[in-house]
């Protein structure tokens, strides 16, 4: 296994009070695998991803559990490239920083152009010389992907890589990640709130709610027969192309509460149509059905 995360817990202490936005998370990514972490904003997906490389502010975050990574490098692509790129450095200089040390300046510049060309930028030489503000959002995200590739990662963590982009560019960026993963053999951990992006693209899916993985398994099995009401809600919220134009969009009632207000029992119970007394009292443990794992009393 390339990445194995066991009992990951991330806690923050403020004013003597502890909040735990990531609670006993377990998942793995095989070599060359394609795994998704799916859930609404505020469910702990990004914090989980950052914790793999111990990136949350460690002076405040208390991270426990084990993360075993048998590869050499993890690269990240974040959701808003304009926040991640340095606005006062040319793109080539930013890519050079991620290249192996010891390359000559001209070799590193040539490599930066080559990496930008691999991401499909139409004029990679111009893009290499540009400052981030001279590129569109989609071009900036391609530059971020080029930086990620510069480190020859074994695992690419793509954290909502298309959120800030228009629909057409979203598709192009996701297809680019797919094709680069196939070409280089790197594994991909895709973090998204959109279960629709996972179908046909990922092998395994982990659905996360309130800091916990509530359902996981092979994508085809989970999407064909979701056991957890939250997974069902996320699936129903994916707009269907053949739905009547005036059909109301499905949603999940309510919102994800902040970590210091997660309820006792099943954290999804205030929003779940199937909740009963037991759901409000007890936290469901993990059950399995074939290769699918879920935490629900009434799957």
Q: Which residues bind ligand SF4 (CB under 6 A)?
A: 228-229, 266, 268-269, 272, 274-275, 279, 284, 296-298
Report the 10 Å Cβ neighbour count for 97. Answer: 13
Nearest distance from C-beta of residue 289 to ligand SF4, angstroms: 14
Given the complex with ligand SF4, which of 110 and 275 has the nearer CB atom? 275
For residue 111, the number of C-alpha atoms closer than 13 Å in the C-beta half-sphere is 21
> Residue-wise over 254-264: b if at least 16 C-beta within 10 A, else e?
eebeebeebee
Given the complex with ligand SF4, which of 124 and 284 has the nearer CB atom? 284
Helix (H, G, I), strand (E, B) or coil at 252: coil
Given the complex with ligand SF4, which of 52 and 205 has the nearer CB atom? 205
Nearest distance from C-beta of residue 19 to ligand SF4, angstroms: 21
CA 211 – CA 85 distance, rounded (Å):
28
Nearest distance from C-beta of residue 284 to ligand SF4, angstroms: 5
Q: Residue 102 burial by CB count (10 A; 0-12/13-18/19+): exposed, middle or buried?
A: exposed
CA 124 – CA 127 distance, rounded (Å):
5
Strand partners, 72: none
Given the complex with ligand SF4, which of 52 and 214 has the nearer CB atom? 214
Given the complex with ligand SF4, which of 65 and 257 has the nearer CB atom? 257
Nearest distance from C-beta of residue 275 to ligand SF4, angstroms: 4
Structure tokens of 227?
Answer: 């056991």
Nearest distance from C-beta of residue 165 to ligand SF4, angstroms: 32
């Amino acid at each position: 296994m390339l990445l194995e995360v066991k009992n990951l817990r991330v806690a923050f202490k403020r004013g003597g009070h502890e909040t735990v936005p990531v609670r006993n998370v377990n998942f793995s990514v095989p070599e060359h695998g394609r795994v998704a972490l799916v859930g609404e904003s505020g469910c702990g997906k990004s914090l989980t991803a950052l914790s793999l490389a111990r990136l949350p502010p460690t002076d405040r975050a208390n991270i426990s559990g084990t993360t075993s990574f048998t590869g050499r490098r993890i690269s990240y692509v974040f959701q808003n490239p304009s926040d991640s790129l340095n606005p006062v450095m040319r793109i080539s200089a930013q890519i050079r920083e991620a290249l192996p040390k010891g390359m000559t300046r001209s070799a590193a510049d040539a490599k930066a152009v080559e990496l930008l060309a691999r991401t499909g930028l139409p004029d990679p030489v111009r893009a290499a010389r540009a400052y981030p503000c001279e590129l569109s959002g989609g071009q900036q995200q391609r530059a971020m992907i080029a930086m990620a590739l510069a480190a020859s990662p074994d695992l690419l963590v793509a954290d909502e890589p298309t959120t800030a982009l228009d629909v057409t560019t979203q598709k192009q960026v996701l297809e680019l990640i797919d094709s680069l993963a196939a070409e280089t053999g790197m594994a991909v951990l895709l973090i998204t709130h959109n279960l629709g992006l996972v179908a046909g693209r990922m092998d395994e899916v982990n659905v996360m709610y309130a800091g916990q993985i509530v359902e996981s398994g092979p994508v085809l099995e989970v999407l064909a027969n979701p056991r957890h009401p939250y997974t069902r809600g996320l699936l129903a919220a994916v707009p269907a192309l053949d739905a009547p134009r005036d059909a109301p969009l499905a949603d999940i009632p309510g919102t994800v509460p902040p970590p210091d207000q997660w309820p006792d029992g099943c954290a999804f119970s205030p929003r779940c149509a199937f909740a009963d007394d037991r759901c409000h009292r007890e936290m469901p443990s993990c059950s399995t059905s074939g290769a699918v794992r879920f935490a629900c009393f009434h799957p």
